[in-house]
Amino acid sequence: MVGVYDLNMELARERADAAGVQRVFASWPEVLSDPDVQCVGVLLPHDVHEQYAIEALEAGKHVVCEKPLAPTLAECDRMLAAASSADRKLFPVHNRVYSPVVEKMGEIVHQDGIGEVFLAQTTGFEARPRSRPGWPRRAAAGRVDVASGASDVRAALAARRRRARELSAG
């Protein structure tokens, strides 16, 4: 990791220290202009993902972006177009799909340890998102908010189940 940037310099320093990172960037343009920065993590409220991801892509950086990629399909399309135009990668984070719990669930499903799966339901116990002072917020009109972590887990388990059936049939 090259460095950490946050509007709140104190928080940036705390995060950098916790991760053993020496450098704290003073500004977003400084991050974008640094040739040592090859990839940027967009770890921001959903409604500003598009702005920061596109700025980073246009600056020649690859981007890892928290899910959902953006609140609207149009924003996602613009982000993907920017990645294509810049010949850079845009990676959405799917952190739960590879968690030990999901891996274990997949193993159990694959081994037919629970029989035929006909319903999958998840319950999350995360803290509610907090608005960060200084970050712009848009009105909710046209906004789509989904429990994408749970959807990703269910999709991953279904895909593992299909692969297991294909292997046993083949």
Whole-prediction pTM value?
0.63
* Residue range 165-170: mean pLDDT, rounded: 58
* Residue range 150-164: mean pLDDT, rounded: 60
Within this chain, do residues 110 and 161 fall inside the same structural domain, yes or no?
Answer: yes
> What digits encode the pLDDT tens for the residues 71-122?
899 999 999 999 999 999 999 987 666 677 777 877 877 777 677 777 766 6
- Nearest Cα neighbor of 8 from 21, 25, 20 is 25
Single out the residue in 65, 92, 119 at which a domain terminates.
92
Peptide bond into 100 cis (omega under 30): no
Apex 32 CA angle, 7 and 85, nearest 5: 125
pLDDT band at 66 (very low <50, low <70, confident <90, very high): confident
CB–CB of 21/4 below 8 Å? yes
Within this chain, do residues 105 and 148 fall inside the same structural domain, yes or no?
Answer: yes
* Residue range 128-146: mean pLDDT, rounded: 42
> What digits encode the pLDDT tens for the residues 1-59?
899 999 999 999 999 999 999 999 999 999 999 999 999 999 888 899 999 999 999 99
CA 162 → CA 11, 149, 158, distances in Å? 44, 20, 6
Single out the residue in 43, 73, 92 at which a domain terminates.
92
**What pLDDT score does 54 carry?**
98
**What pLDDT score does 11 carry?**
93
Within this chain, do residues 102 and 154 fall inside the same structural domain, yes or no?
Answer: yes
- Nearest Cα neighbor of 47 from 135, 128, 147 is 135
H-helix or E-strand containing 42?
strand 39-42
- Nearest Cα neighbor of 136 from 52, 31, 24, 58 is 52
Compute how many other C-beta atoms are within 10 angstroms of the C-beta atom of residue 99. Answer: 13
Instruction: Look up the domain containing 153 and give its range.
Output: 95-169
